[in-house]
Structure 1
């Protein structure tokens, strides 16, 4: 499997394209600039099959409907934030005002709890990692050695917890119980900034002392 990290939107949120041999791909967190994203997809002759959202903050969902409509693909989100797609007060677009308030169509697929998922050729484990937001998830692709962590864990940092529904203690527990137990060589693909590994964060992340 190959992946591409494409910063998009007003906060340069990392959108990820995960591609299998043959070109089928998952789109994770298309935060904006759908034209830039489409250009990349066309250049590498990729075939999107689904959008997965690690959570529903405005900077992760700005291009969802544009991408969904262009490729006629389903959108998946955790049940605790399904209503956020429709509500600018919940997804933060009303509060932060980086553009027009975001009101999207409902998700096509609702993720309830932790489970193994299969979408086309992609097999992965959904990990519930709340704390940054109530319905935050991480996507663990064991065979590829990759976890897409959204805004739970960053290189040398962790997600903010001062937004509605955030909880610092819950976030630390999520990282400890769900992410730090993964193999140390697992590549962590965060919602902002550079990729890292579980081992690197165990050793040097100042927010995770004692792991």
Structure 2
């Protein structure tokens, strides 16, 4: 199973940035020393401090605690018609990200739609050839390099594929701005785009109907137990609002396919994601 993308510290740091709180402000709010905060962020776990930080950062404490203790795991999901691929992206000398991209296909009509490209196209292109699938479209959740690096490889292999995104790619004639809340049909399944800004201003999620269960390809808007990072308080508020209204308001059985980490569901995130848990 693909591992969770974010640690408890990652979640707390994302929420701290979103709230505009540095370590000194967190220490002040928690009524503890700066060194206590710094030690905690280096991995010295304290349940009392975790509870204080959850309260200050408006995170669900029980969901955060379950995540910290490893007691909450996303359900194992297999959805016919959905295939995920992973590739590596060197984010820094110390950190290599594992990036997801996904193929939704119709085995009868032999058509497929790709969601993001990752950094390597080789495995997916081999699969498309083996299954004799025609790639009809490439849908981009956001234009960060780890999600679009392999775009040219797919364009070379399938030059007729239409590229859908929130904004056009410069010098790519076949790229189109997707219309929000407009249905796009691909044989047995239908797709429509949802605006999910926050991690990026042009963030999109793609909702798919026609499979065994509803599917939403969320890019970096949401992760299992977490969400994509934001770089301002305004962007953080935007992420919280758009994720709640556009994605987590959908049917609980809906499968969420994120840009990093494992598959999850709306119901699971409403119980175990510290940013959104309702219990």
Contact residue 269 and residue 277 of structure 2 kept, 8 A = no
Contact residue 194 and residue 204 of structure 2 kept, 8 A = yes
Contact residue 131 and residue 169 of structure 1 kept, 8 A = yes
1:123 Cα offset (Å):
1.2
Structure-2 separation of matches of 1:120 and 1:76: 17
What's 2:164 paired with?
A: 76
Structure-1 separation of matches of 2:229 and 2:271: 21
Contact residue 134 and residue 166 of structure 1 kept, 8 A = no
1:125 aligns with 2:213: no
Structure-2 separation of matches of 1:127 and 1:198: 15
What's 2:120 paired with?
A: 33
What's 1:65 paired with?
A: 152
Residue 275 of structure 2: SS of its match in structure 1?
Answer: helix
Q: Given the superposition, is the C-alpha separation of residues 106 and 170 from structure 1 closer, same or farther in structure 2, using an over 3 Å criterion?
A: farther
1:53 aligns with 2:121: no
1:208 aligns with 2:276: yes
1:199 aligns with 2:278: no
* CA deviations over 1:3-46 (Å, ceiling 9, x no partner): 10101241321110001132211011012212222112223332
Residue 207 of structure 1: SS of its match in structure 2?
Answer: coil
Q: Given the superposition, is the C-alpha separation of residues 2 and 175 from structure 1 closer, same or farther in structure 2, using an over 3 Å criterion?
A: same
Structure-1 separation of matches of 2:174 and 2:100: 20
Q: Where do 5+ consecutive residues of structure 1 fail to align?
A: 87-103
1:155 aligns with 2:224: yes
Residue 147 of structure 2: SS of its match in structure 1?
Answer: helix
What's 1:8 paired with?
A: 87
Residue 206 of structure 1: SS of its match in structure 2?
Answer: coil
Q: Given the superposition, is the C-alpha separation of residues 32 and 143 from structure 1 closer, same or farther in structure 2, using an over 3 Å criterion?
A: same
Structure with greater proportional strand content: 1
What's 1:135 paired with?
A: 202
TM-score, structure 1 as length reference:
0.82
Runs of 4+ that moved beyond 4 A: none
Question: How many equivalent pairs are there?
Answer: 189
What's 1:20 paired with?
A: 106
Structure-1 separation of matches of 2:263 and 2:234: 23
1:120 Cα offset (Å):
4.8
TM-score, structure 2 as length reference:
0.63
What's 1:169 paired with?
A: 237
Structure-1 separation of matches of 2:235 and 2:216: 22
Contact residue 132 and residue 167 of structure 1 kept, 8 A = yes
1:210 Cα offset (Å):
4.0
Q: Relative to structure 2, which stretch is displaced further, 104-113 or 154-163?
A: 104-113
